[in-house]
Amino acid sequence: MADRDFDPEAMLSALADRGVRFVLIGGMAAVLHGDVGVTVDVDVVPERSDENLERLAKALRDLGARIRTKGEPEGLQFDCSAEFFKNLSPDSIVNMTTERGDLDVTFCPSGTQGFSDLSRDAVEIEAADRLHILVASLQDVIRSKEAAGRDKDRLALPRLRRLLDRLRADGRSRATR
Amino acid sequence: MAERAGVPKSTVGRIESGARVPSTGMVERLVRAAGLEVSVSLSEADPGTDSMFERTLRRSPAERLADATRVARFVLRGRRELAAASDG
């Protein structure tokens, strides 16, 4: 990332401004449901139609997206086009750094069938003033983290399950106040 | 694995395919056959987490995003400073 501060709202706005159809997943989705974990990137699952991939590529170019890699703090330039995303296998994860922070795009997160699967239970929320996005249900965030099984996911899972229990006990499992 | 655990191969196959849910004893036998040990620990629920949930759930999603952004910036700044210090 450049010197500008991490700004998930700006990343999500860039996607929304270009009309990208996507579901937010991962730690930031959990935060919107009420989690207290620390997350320093944004994970999105775009719908995979040709038109949407065009919109996605435009939004990512607006954000100055580059491939994230340890050796190059500024990231590596890549062919940020609809073709690039079209040619990826469904389980690919594209880890990027942008002018507004780290952004990961995946079409089929672990344990899920991708956009159509996640959007079924996703909830539309206002993540910022006039910024409405689809956020994966907390159950689906948990399902994905269970399947991914990374150390950081395993650490977060007891807390996320506790939050889910809490929301259910309150009679809500939606990211509303 | 089935041989080492002393259970029929078909049993292991059914567990692997999800057709059978193993008992705790069966899990223990299979894990031991793999040269590992099962350990279960119980711990008190952290009341601190619940009180943090109390606070975040009173806030709107937009406020939660803003809070998380501030925390993430703090963490990222710390990481950058640590990296700079170790480089220097």
How large is the ipTM?
0.90
Q: With bands split at pLDDT 50, 70 and 90, how would you rate the model's confidence at B15? A: confident
pLDDT of residue B71: 93
- Tokens matching residue A108: 């089929």
Number of H helices, E strands in chain B: 5, 0
Q: Where are the alpha helices (DSSP H) in B18-60?
A: 24-33, 47-57
Inter-chain residue contact A162 with B45, CB threshold 8 Å: yes
Categorize the per-residue pLDDT at A174 as very low, low, confident or very high, splitting at 50, 70 and 90.
low
A-facing residues of B in 48-77 (CB < 8 A) are 49-50, 52-53, 56-62, 64-66, 68-69, 71-73, 75-76
- Specify the pairing of strand A72-76 against strand A123-128: unpaired
Res A92 pLDDT > 50? yes
Q: Which domains does chain A have, with CATH numbers?
A: 8-169 (3.30.460)
SS3 A20: coil
Q: Report which DSSP code applies to A87.
A: T
Q: Residue B17: CB partners within 8 Å, gap ≥ 6?
A: none
Task: Answer positive or negative: Cα dihedral of A119, A120, A122, A126.
Answer: positive
Given a cut of 70, is residue B42 above it in pLDDT?
A: no
Specify the range with the lowest mean pLDDT, choosing from A13-17, A20-24, A132-136, B15-19: B15-19
pLDDT tens per residue across span A7-29: 999 999 999 999 999 999 999 99
A43 touches chain B (CB under 8 A): no
User: Domain segments of chain B: what residues?
Assistant: 2-33, 47-87
Instruction: Please report the pLDDT score of residue A30 as a whole number.
Output: 97
